[in-house]
Amino acid sequence: MKKKNDPRRIRYSLHGDIKIDTRSNAQAAPATGYAAIAVHTGGRVFSTHKDGSASWVCDTVMLSTAQAMVAELVATL
């Protein structure tokens, strides 16, 4: 079992520029919106929160995929 501070819990994102805690079970604040940004050849999806912060949701291979995901997520708000 991986412990809380075990470095094996941390993985690089699809694009390799941020690290993600793969075993995090923390509840994120409710999303007030979603945003897509370009990262290398793909895209990244973030949820935005009332306090102005943003939480990573996922990485995609293409920016257009991230933008389509955001449009679909915004429609569910």
- Block residue for tokens 């699809």: 14
Phi-psi region for residue 19, left (φ > 0), alpha (ψ -120 to 50) or beta?
beta
Paired tokens of 68:
């389509």
Task: Assign 42 a pLDDT band (cuts: 50, 70, 90).
Answer: very high
- Per residue in 1-31, pLDDT tens? 556 666 667 888 888 888 887 666 667 778 9
- What count of other Cβ atoms lies within 10 Å of the Cβ of residue 8? 9
Q: Please enumerate in sequence order all residues whose Cβ is within 8 A of that of 64, keeping only pairs 6 or more positions apart, or say none.
A: 43
Whole-prediction pTM value?
A: 0.76
Q: What's the confidence (pLDDT) of residue 74?
A: 93
Domain boundaries, the chain: 31-77
Residue 45 has pLDDT above 80, yes or no: yes
